[in-house]
Structure formats: C-alpha cells, structure tokens
A = this chain, B = another copy of it.
C-alpha cells in the first residue's frame, strides 16, 4: 500500500509509484500510433470513412457503465478485505483480554501464541506463500502445521482444544468459543475474496469493449479534431485502460502489489497487542519503505 498523503502538484505529475501508467504505456502508444497513421492516411493517400459521434456517445455511456460497475466491485472487495483484517485485529485484542479474564494463570500464554501462529499462517495462505515459516516461531518446539490440510484452521483447532481443556467453567468456554467463531468468520471472509475472482465474463466484456472503442474512435474524430486525434486517443486510452488496470489490482486485495493491503504491517500490529498482553517485549510497528508499506 502506498502511504502518501496530499502530494503536491509536481509530485502528482511525475509520481510513478502506485501509478499504473508504466504497465499500460505500451498499449497507449500502440493505439496512439495507429490513430496517427489513420490521420496521415486520411489526409494523403485515401479518404477513410468518417462517422459522426452519435454511436460513440451511446458506446461511451455503456463502457462507462461497465467500468464504473467493475471499479465499484473491485474497490468493495479491497475495502472489505481491509475491514475483515480490522475485524481480525479487534478479535485478536479481544481474545487477549478474554484469555486473561477467563483462563487460569499459567494457561494464558499458549492460546495467544497459537493466535499469533494462526495470523501468520492465515497471511501466508492468502498470499500463497509456499515456503513460509514465520508462523512457526510461535508454536512449541517440534510442532509443525505446514502439512496440515489447512494450516490456519489447524492452529485454531489446537487453540480450541487447549482452551476447552483448561477452561475453569462454562462461561470461559462460551466466551472463548464465541471469539474463535468470530475469528473463523473473518478468516472465511478473507478466503472468500482470495478464492473467488470477479466473474471472468466482466473482464472479457470490459477489455473487448475498450479495445473496440479505442480502435474505432479515430474515425469519429478525423473530421472534428484533425491532428489532435492521436492526443485524444491517448488520453481516452489512458483513462479507460488505467481504470481497468486499477480495478484488476484492487480486486485482489491480498496480493503483494503496490496497491495491495499491508498484511505484514497488520500482523505486526497484532503481535504488539498480544505480546504486550503477555507482558513480553513488543516489536516496533512496521514503517513504509519508499512510501510502500508491505
């Protein structure tokens, strides 16, 4: 995630961090060159058919409808991902307090360390990190959950068994099983977003329509815009492909992309809360490196 509030005018102009421009530049240049070729052809070799702008108005409304919908859906996925991790942060802190309130002393450390193992395994699962062992710092010697059918679930299973075994009464069991259920709900929400992409059919419709639009628009501009045609094609390609790329990136909020969510930093936040709770020394929060928070 890029952390950079209110950049100035010049910075806005030249910022490439977090911009999608580098990735769509080839497409923009190709379409612009094609438009320039058409203008040159039309003026020198052969008269191309000119059309008026009416079909493009309708076409443009439809395209904006697709892109706007897709942008909203992608942003909602991104923000829901963030919301679910916020829920996890709150649940983890609440778990810390409830373990202290309900479990007997001497049995408070193990469930919280399992919670830390869970959160790291959950992150690794969402990001599909295969060779990953941050979560295992928090397990007991020799324990290894990486071969479990579902590692984060295995950590929660262990926690539930540990809590059930040492709970002094029904209130403790009830309180902690509700909290584990709430964690499992946020976890399943994250997995839902990670496993279910936006329907592929929208990607097809959006990209096909955008290309058609940019390829045909010059014919409507030839008459009214002349040699400014390539400029307008460039701008419109920038706007449409830019938005399409942004939505592609935001719709996968757990990716390690420049607009992805800072899962590492949030895991650190949870470590700070739970280790303080246990009276152990808490690490420092993660800081952005070159405006980028991983």
Q: Which residues of A contact B (CB under 8 A)?
A: 1-7, 12-13, 15, 17-20, 49, 51-69, 71-73, 75, 78-79, 82-83, 86-87, 89-90, 93-94, 96-98, 100-102, 148-150, 153-154, 156-157, 160-161, 163-164, 169-175, 177-181, 184-185, 187-189, 191-192, 196-197, 199-205, 207-209, 212, 216-217, 219-221, 223-228, 231-232, 235-236, 239-240, 242-243, 246, 248-250, 252, 258-259, 261, 272-273, 276-277, 282
Q: A93-B184, A205-B242 are in contact. List 16 more A-B contacts (CB 8 A).
A: A5-B197, A15-B204, A57-B57, A58-B236, A59-B235, A82-B196, A90-B181, A90-B189, A93-B156, A94-B181, A97-B181, A100-B164, A101-B173, A102-B173, A171-B171, A175-B177
**Contact B153 A276, beta carbon cutoff 8 Å:** yes
Residues of chain B lying within 8 A (CB to CB) of residue A272: 149-150
The SS class assigned to the A binding surface is helix
**Contact B51 A228, beta carbon cutoff 8 Å:** yes
A153-B93, A164-B101, A276-B154 in contact; A202/B239 too (CB < 8 A)? no
Report how far A173 CA is from B154 CA in the complex, Å. 25
